[in-house]
Structure 1
Amino acid sequence: MEIGVRDLRDHLSRHLAEVRSGRSVTITDHGNPIARIVPVDRLTALEQLRKEGRIQPARKRKQTTTEPIQGGGIVSDLVDDQRR
């Protein structure tokens, strides 16, 4: 079921009742889908893949990035220098 933002705002209780009954509601803004409200007991695609054992969580956390290097000059000149 697709509904616009205004319709969601004006009839929120009715749309939440649809979700409670097991249906998904896609929210659109000027006809473009922007969000989806789904029942809590329904697994997301990522959760389903984990459950099936097709993917697994990362073993270690992402490493922090290093401090940015301070450069001098105009960016286009720096890029031009690297192309040589």
Structure 2
Amino acid sequence: MWEQRLGIRIAKATHDISAAGASAEVAGALELPVGAPVLVLDRTSYGEDGKALEVVVFHYRPDRYRFSVTLPRTLPEPGAGIIERS
């Protein structure tokens, strides 16, 4: 959306996933009892200038969703600050 509508490129995004007890509002929306466990995904998207463009919080029922991540193996650039320990 940012790129298509506004011409702003999203350079990166962070996703933090945690577990929490459902608040009354979240429990009602997800049809769960108050305090039931939910997965919480906090996402912040950043532009090429490093400024946050979007901050979003999602709540998921853990009995209906699964998160899967595939990470490509990449080699660090020279001087990337990677320290190998033996």
Scaled by the length of structure 1, the TM-score of the pair is 0.25
More helix by share: 1
More strand by share: 2
Greater Cα radius of gyration, structure 1 or 2: 1
Select the structure with the greater relative contact order (CA < 8 A; seq sep ≥ 6): 2
